[in-house]
Amino acid sequence: MRRALVLFNQAMRWHDNLLLSEQAEFDQLIAVVVLNPDDYLGRQYGIQRASIQRLQAQLKLLLNWQQQWQQKQQVLHIRIGPTDLCLQQLAQLYGADTLIAAEPTAPEQYQQLLQSGLKLKLFDINSLLQHQLRPDLATLPKSFSAFRREREPDLWVQPPEQHAVTTQFHADPSLAVDTTALDFINRYHQPTAALFNEAAGLERLMQFIWHHQAVIDYKQNRNALDGDWNSSLWSFYLANGTLSPCYTWQQVLVFEQKQVANESTYWLRFELLWREYFRWQMRQHGRAWFSKNAFRPPLDFSSPQADPRFELWCKGETGLPFVDANLRMLLHTGWMSNRGRQNVASYLIFELQQDWRLGAAFFEQHLLDYDCASNWCNWAYIAGVGNSSARQFNQIKQALTYDPDGDFVRHWLPGKMATGSSVHQPEPQVPIQEFWLPFLQQLKVSL
C-alpha cells in the first residue's frame, strides 16, 4: 500500500487547492499541518520571530482547519515541533514515503521540507504563474516593470478548477493530536485571537469587490493610512494561503467584465503582480536575500548591529510623529498600510542609518500578514539593495499628503495636543533633515 503525507501548511482552504485532489499513484493520503515553534519563538538578530498575537493567530487557524475536517468526518493531524522531524515521525507511523505540499517561497521552509527526507511532490498553489505559466528562474527579468510586461499578457487566467476532495484521505483518529501538540495548544491557544481563515478571506473578497465595489476607487484610496475600504486587506489571507491568488485575480477580471473595468480595477491586479514578482525573486536568489546587500556580492550574513535609535523606532518613540503613529498602529493591530510601511522603513534605513534587515525582522515579528517574500523583498527594495536603487521618502511631505489634518497621528499618539497639520512637527530631539524644510513651513494649526 502506497501512502503519502499531505501537508496543509499555507494551504488551509477548500477552494482552488490541488492538495485535496486525487493522487492516483497513492492508495491513501494522510492530512497534516505542522507548526514549528522555532518559526515563531526563535530569534533572528535578537528579535523574536513572531509576536504572541501572530503565533496565536496561526494556532487558531490550525485548530479551525482541524475542526473543518472533523465536520467532514475526516481527520487532520496537528503536529508541533521541528517540521522535518514531525513529518518523519508521522511518515514512519503510517508507512508513507512521499510528502505532498504547497511549494514554499521562503528558502527556510523549503529546506525544512527537503530535510524530512521524504520524496517531495509540490504544487505551487499560492502563485499566479502556475503550470505552463511557471517562469524559468534563469531568465527571470530583473525589474518589476520588465517582469510585468513579460508576464501580464499571460494572466487572463481561467477560473481555477474546482477539485472534489479525494476520498483517499485516511487516518487513525487517535493520532490526530499528540501530547507535544496538546501541551503547546494548552499553553498558547487564545480563543479571542484573530482568525484569518478561508471563510473570512472569501467574505472579504466578496465584500471588497462585489458588495462595496471598493475596487472601483482602489487606485485613489489605496494609499490611505487606515480605513475599512481603502485597500483590500486581502494580505492576511494571501499570506497564509487561505485565499487563492488565482481565484482572487479571476474575481477582479469577472468584475471588470460584468461591472466596471477602470484604472483602479487594473491597479489591484498590478499590486497582485508585485506580490508575484517578489515570490519569484525570492525563489531565484533564495537565502541570499538575507545578506546585508541582498544577493549582491560579497554575501554578508553577519548579524546587523542595532543601536538605541532602533529600539526607539520599534516602540514608536522616535519623536517623528508620522513615523511613530504608524509604528504604534502596527504594535496595536498587527497591520500597517503600505504607505506607512514605506515611510517607516525609509526613516529607519536612511535617517536612522540602521541595517534594513533589522526593520525586516521587526516587521516579521509584528505583521499579521507577514509573508517572507513580500516583507524581505520590499525592505530590500526600499534600501536599494538587490535589484533596485534606494527609495527614500520625505516623511513630512508624506504626512502632509496622507494625513493633512493630523487626525491619524492624533489617534495613535493621543498625548499630542497640537491641532491641524502642526501635529507633524518633529520633537526637539529629532535632527531636522534639510529636505523636510519646505514642508515643515507648510505645517499649520487648525483654525
Burial class (CB in 10 A: 0-12, 13-18, 19+), 221: middle
Least separation in angstroms between residue 173's CB and ligand FAD is: 36
Among residues 274, 286, 413, 430, which is the contact residue for ligand FAD, using CB under 6 A? Answer: 274
Which residue, 17 or 337, has its beta carbon nearer to ligand FAD? 337
Least separation in angstroms between residue 275's CB and ligand FAD is: 3
Least separation in angstroms between residue 240's CB and ligand FAD is: 10
By CB under 6 A, which span of 191-199, 288-296, 367-375, 390-398 interacts with ligand FAD? 367-375
- Residue 156: which residues within 8 A CB-CB, separation 6 or more? 253
Asked if residue 370 binds ligand FAD (CB under 6 A), the reply is: yes
Least separation in angstroms between residue 319's CB and ligand FAD is: 21
Among residues 341, 357, 366, 410, which is the contact residue for ligand FAD, using CB under 6 A? Answer: 341
Report how far Cα 70 is from the mean position of its chain's Cα atoms. 28
Is 94:3 a contact under the CB 8 Å cutoff?
A: yes
116 vs 90: CA distance, rounded Å: 11
| Subset of residues 212 to 241 that bind ligand FAD, contact rule: CB under 6 A | 222, 231-235, 238-239
260 vs 258: CA distance, rounded Å: 7
Least separation in angstroms between residue 100's CB and ligand FAD is: 25
By CB under 6 A, which span of 24-32, 192-200, 372-380, 407-415 interacts with ligand FAD? 372-380
Least separation in angstroms between residue 234's CB and ligand FAD is: 4
139 vs 222: CA distance, rounded Å: 32
318 vs 426: CA distance, rounded Å: 9
Asked if residue 383 binds ligand FAD (CB under 6 A), the reply is: no
Report how far Cα 253 is from the mean position of its chain's Cα atoms. 23
Among residues 188, 255, 379, 436, which is the contact residue for ligand FAD, using CB under 6 A? Answer: 379
Least separation in angstroms between residue 185's CB and ligand FAD is: 26
DSSP for 161-223, written as a single string: PPPPPPTTB---GGGSB-HHHHHHHHHH--TTS----HHHHHHHHHIIIIIS-GGGGHHHHTT
Asked if residue 244 binds ligand FAD (CB under 6 A), the reply is: no
| Residues that contact ligand FAD, how many (by CB under 6 A) | 28
100 vs 81: CA distance, rounded Å: 19
Asked if residue 275 binds ligand FAD (CB under 6 A), the reply is: yes
130 vs 344: CA distance, rounded Å: 34
Asked if residue 10 binds ligand FAD (CB under 6 A), the reply is: no
E strand or H helix that includes residue 112: helix 107-115
Single-letter code of the amino acid located at 446:
S
| Subset of residues 252 to 271 that bind ligand FAD, contact rule: CB under 6 A | 268, 271
Asked if residue 147 binds ligand FAD (CB under 6 A), the reply is: no
Which residue, 112 or 231, has its beta carbon nearer to ligand FAD? 231
Least separation in angstroms between residue 38's CB and ligand FAD is: 19
308 vs 324: CA distance, rounded Å: 15
Among residues 65, 94, 278, 393, which is the contact residue for ligand FAD, using CB under 6 A? Answer: 278
Q: DSSP label at 120?
A: E
Which residue, 110 or 393, has its beta carbon nearer to ligand FAD? 393
Asked if residue 345 binds ligand FAD (CB under 6 A), the reply is: yes
Is 41:55 a contact under the CB 8 Å cutoff?
A: yes
302 vs 9: CA distance, rounded Å: 30
Which residue, 291 or 346, has its beta carbon nearer to ligand FAD? 346
Single-letter code of the amino acid located at 437:
L
Among residues 371, 386, 406, 408, which is the contact residue for ligand FAD, using CB under 6 A? Answer: 371
The residue assigned the cell 487516518 is: 171
Which residue, 184 or 412, has its beta carbon nearer to ligand FAD? 412
Among residues 342, 354, 365, 387, which is the contact residue for ligand FAD, using CB under 6 A? Answer: 342
DSSP SS3 for 447 = coil
Give residues in contact with ligand FAD (CB under 6 A).
Answer: 222, 231-235, 238-239, 268, 271-272, 274-275, 278, 337-338, 341-342, 345, 363, 367, 369-371, 374-375, 378-379
